[in-house]
Structure 1
Amino acid sequence: MQAEHLLSIGATLGEGPVWIDGALWFVDIKNDTVFRFDPASRDLARWKAPEHVGWVLPSGQRGLIAGLMSGPHRFLPETGAFERIAHVQADLPDNRLNDAAIDGEGRIWFGTMDNLEESATGLVFVLDKGAVTQATLSPVTITNGPAISPCGARLYHVDTLGRRVIRHAIAPGGTADAGEIFLDFNDDAHADWGYPDGAICDAEGAVWLGFFGGGAARRFSPDGTLTHEARFPVSNITKVALGGADGHTAYATTARQGLSDAQRAAEPLAGDIFTFRVEVPAPLARHANT
């Protein structure tokens, strides 16, 4: 498949696309900006966040839940206000929240990372009814995903710099086991694939991954088989969301970060939003219990 250009943004680090109530929400992490795009009307709204913002997710209560640098906040689009829910890793001021997903019980699983991308201080945490606890996952430098299967029993945690995806079992109480390798891209066959970035699951439990530096998004079945690939005219594909009226439209965020001046000149669409159609739709929507 070839992804098509949808929206000019020029994001430094576009991330966190998610389909909420008929619109695409996403962020530019390094420019502290939340976006909402309505594909039907072409209306684009934006809000400035007080810190780096990694994601927004739908809440079963008022507003949305946003992952800011210091921790999760309640975000009220009607006023633009951000209300802190909790501090996370307050002893590591250079860490920030990076990516997140909601499980079947409304818990938000989210990762942290060193904003300088140097230290292995990134962990996975769980936000459950306003309380944050650390999940039992090993630290990495850049966390991505996590993606959660439609059945809610499996969590896919991306170790981006380690170029691998770990699959964990989620216990009913909301803890994850030590996990096992699901995908590993550290071989010659994948040398030009770049780094696995944001992850989501579709309705069949397959995993879509964006590849930073690889110019593609790829779908892997639950047994790890590559089933589909979407190619892009830009290098840094950060994450895919599934949505649209029928759930069969993919939307992808991209980034300009890390590109040289020559690469930016060669990729004028870097940092923009792209789209393509998929065979398997999005799973049922979930809302946070916070």
Structure 2
Amino acid sequence: MTMDIIPFSGKILCDEPLMLGEGATYDPATDIAWWFNIKGEALHELHLASGRKTVHPLPFLGSVLAVIDPDRQLIASDKGLFIRETASGKLSLLTTLEDIPANRSNDGRVHPSGSLWVSTMARDEAKGAGAIYHVARGTVTRLYAEVSIPNSICFSPDGSTGYFTDTAINHLMRVALDPATGLPAGEPTAISDETTTSGGIDGSVCDADGLIWNARYGSGAVDVYRPDGTKIARYTVPATQTTCPAFIGAKADRLLVTSSFQGMSDPQRAADPHAGKTFELGVTVKGRFEPAYLL
């Protein structure tokens, strides 16, 4: 099957370049998009309608945000999972994930059941140092160990299927889940082998039709997959190191994409002037809102 390649027709949502923009999500109740600069220890907030931008310094390397209720959020970090009071920014520890100082949190999403899948990896990307965890009402269960760069965590609309990858291996994985809990109900299988193509599978979201929208790190693109792993489209993005998508807007019909300039030399950054900026893809999508995390 021929994959459609669609040139970028969107816009820059935020022109502040981030070393590692990641963990994008959106809260429809407040019309606010959230994302992290992981290595800059900061949480970025953008009110879509007004364009009001706020940057919240963090005392850790945050990478995943989930809404709990109108007053509270859950943040995953290298120090564990924290409850954040949205109005004040006050943080309180919910639980730790693992006692490995060399590791930090990475990718994660809330399952339709209200449980969280969240991952860890070595700060220096050491092989097999990370893991993927399931967190339900504060109870932590390790799902997959010896993962190097966990990414692409997302779920089918009905919660019966989960997707993830180890970017170091670059296979898109699919696993059957218990829709009521978000726990695996079978063994994962690879549905797309991306080892022979350029770039790495990074963050993903799954739309209302079950299509997987994946940020392709190193390729300046968002790729779209069917649930069977067939790649059907590539939307180009004017930053090589695209990292994480999120459905945004009142109808979840727009797509935000973060990016990164980590590891780039000065000449590489000069050749990639939008590296690290945050974009809107500029196409209409059939997105859906992230579920709330259930305490």
Task: Please tell me the TM-score bracket, short chain as reference.
Answer: over 0.9
Q: State the distance in 1 between where 2:291 and 2:45 align.
A: 18
Q: Please identify, of 11-20 and 163-172, the stretch whose mean Cα deviation from structure 2 is larger.
A: 163-172
Q: Among residues 157, 164, 172, which one is paired with 1:157 in the alignment?
A: 164
Give the secondary-structure state (helix, strand or coil) at the position aligned to 1:59.
Answer: strand
Pairwise CA distance, 1:246: 2.3
Runs ≥4 residues deviating over 3 A: 277-280
Q: State the distance in 2 between where 1:89 and 1:178 align.
A: 23
Q: State the distance in 1 between where 2:163 and 2:89 align.
A: 32
Report the TM-score, using the length of structure 2 for normalisation. 0.92
Quick one: structure 1 residues 107 and 269, their matched pair in 2 at CA, closer, same or farther if it must change by over 3 Å? same
Q: Which residue of 2 aligns with 1:266?
A: 271
Identical aligned residues as a percent = 26
Give the secondary-structure state (helix, strand or coil) at the position aligned to 1:57.
Answer: strand
RMSD: 1.5
* Residue 95 (structure 1) aligned with residue 103 (structure 2): yes
Q: How does 1:110-121 map to 2 (within 5 A)?
A: 110-121=118-129
* Residue 142 (structure 1) aligned with residue 149 (structure 2): yes
Q: Which residue of 2 aligns with 1:123?
A: 131
Q: Among residues 51, 54, 58, which one is paired with 1:49 in the alignment?
A: 58
Q: How does 1:219-258 map to 2 (within 5 A)?
A: 219-258=224-263
Pairwise CA distance, 1:245: 2.4
Alignment gaps of 5+ in structure 2: 1-5
Alignment gaps of 5+ in structure 1: none
CA deviation map 1:78-103 (0-9, x unaligned): 1121111111111x111111111111
Pairwise CA distance, 1:138: 4.0
* Residue 59 (structure 1) aligned with residue 39 (structure 2): no
Q: Which residue of 2 aligns with 1:217?
A: 222
Q: State the distance in 2 between where 1:117 and 1:196 align.
A: 15
CA deviation map 1:209-268 (0-9, x unaligned): 111111111111112222222112211000111121222111000001021211111122
* Residue 287 (structure 1) aligned with residue 295 (structure 2): no
Q: State the distance in 2 between where 1:145 and 1:225 align.
A: 16
Q: State the distance in 2 between where 1:256 and 1:280 align.
A: 27
Q: Among residues 74, 84, 87, which one is paired with 1:78 in the alignment?
A: 87
Q: Please identify, of 146-155 and 169-178, the stretch whose mean Cα deviation from structure 2 is larger.
A: 169-178
Contact 2:111 2:155 in 1 (8 A): yes
Report the TM-score, using the length of structure 1 for normalisation. 0.93
CA deviation map 1:99-131 (0-9, x unaligned): 111112100111111111113121111111122
Q: State the distance in 2 between where 1:61 and 1:107 align.
A: 18
Quick one: structure 1 residues 6 and 173, their matched pair in 2 at CA, closer, same or farther if it must change by over 3 Å? closer
Give the secondary-structure state (helix, strand or coil) at the position aligned to 1:283.
Answer: coil
The letter of the residue matching 2:128 is A
Q: State the distance in 1 between where 2:57 and 2:188 align.
A: 37
